[in-house]
Amino acid sequence: MKADNVSMQGGGYYNENSTLQGHAIDKSLELLSLSEHRGPSITLADYGSSEGQNSYYLSTLPSMTSATLVFNDTPSNDFSSLTSTIHQNWDSLSQDGKVAINTLLSPRSYFEQVLPDGFVDAGFNFTALHWLRNMPDTSSTPSSLSAAAHEDFLTFLSVRHKEIRRRGTMIICVPCDGEISVSPVFRCFEASLRNIYDKYQVNPTIAKRLPMYFRTLDEILTSIAAVNTKWGLRSHHTLPLTHT
């Protein structure tokens, strides 16, 4: 069963509850270098943009005369809220009118090619790749979920390789399981479901069918190494963040 049309809650909810993602993005943008970019215009693509609250990175880029911003997410995403966010932050995105902005929306799963070959100068994927393409079943194991996450990552990187120009940049911020583990969250979720089972008959095993997997750093690096003929890893870092 496909899960790649899953989207974040709209109506402004994600924008109001994405502070943690914003902290991770701030650190990720330190890796961005466009020193090799030439020309007065640039094309940026945000893969998995949700409602757009954290798509403010253009204001941190070097001066240029124009930029094309592509906002991609699944067809079920709240694109109405996304466009409102873009409008509300137009001054910041356009550097107070110094940059002519063109915006494009791409309502397709980023596990497919969503843009023409060589179209993008720099791509971004922030705190989204822990969502799996396919829905796990009750027989799923940590090993099978790890394998599925690996294949998803390879697919994502392979189609981005087509869309991003030669010597372009792809910045990915991946929530991972490490110093701060997410395992207690799932145990609490299952315990909550068991507590309400008598009243609502909600099967606690549904927690194991959530279409997400938090990779370890080693798993992330293994997936990247598997596409080393397409991508070169310039740098990486880990940042412990506690969700409060």
For 155-172, the pLDDT digits (tens) are: 999 999 999 999 888 989
CB atoms < 10 A from the CB of 213, how many?
A: 23
Q: What is the pTM of this model?
A: 0.81
Please tell me the distance from the alpha carbon of residue 170 to that of residue 37, in angstroms, as a whole number.
13
Contact in structure between 47 and 110 (CB atoms under 8 Å): yes
The reported pLDDT for the residue numbered 32 is 63
In the predicted model, what is the mean pLDDT of residues 231-242? Answer: 81
Q: What per-residue confidence (pLDDT) applies to 28? A: 60
99-122 tens-digit pLDDT: 898 999 999 999 999 999 999 998
For residue 106, the model assigns a pLDDT of 94
Residues with Cβ < 8 Å from 240, sequence gap 6 or more?
178, 179, 180
Q: Which residues sit opposite 170 in a β-bridge?
A: 123
Give the closest residue to 104 by CA, choosing from 162, 62, 21, 46. Answer: 46
**17-40 pLDDT tens trace:** 445 555 566 666 666 665 556 677
- Cα 111–chain centre separation: 11
Measured between alpha carbons, how far apart are the two ends of the chain, in Å? 32
Residues with Cβ within 8 Å of 117's Cβ and at least 6 positions away in sequence, in order, are 162, 163
Share of the chain above pLDDT 90, in %: 30
Q: What are phi and psi of 229, to 5 degrees?
A: -80, -10
With both helix axes pointing from N to C terminus, report the angle between 217-225 and 142-163 in degrees, rounded to the nearest 10. 50
What pLDDT was estimated at residue 34? 56
Structural domains of the chain in order of their starting residue, each with its CATH number: 3-179+212-226 (3.40.50.150)
Annotate 156-178 with b (16+ C-beta within 10 A) or e (fewer). Answer: bbebbbebbeeebbbbbbbbbee
Nearest of 9, 44, 29 to residue 172 by alpha carbon: 29
Q: Can you point out the beta strands (E) in the chain?
A: 41-47, 66-73, 100-107, 120-126, 164-173
Q: What is the pLDDT of residues 175-228, one digit of tens each?
A: 888 766 666 766 777 777 777 766 777 676 666 667 888 899 999 999 999 999
Check: CB of residue 51 under 8 Å from CB of residue 78.
yes
Residue 108: the pLDDT is 94
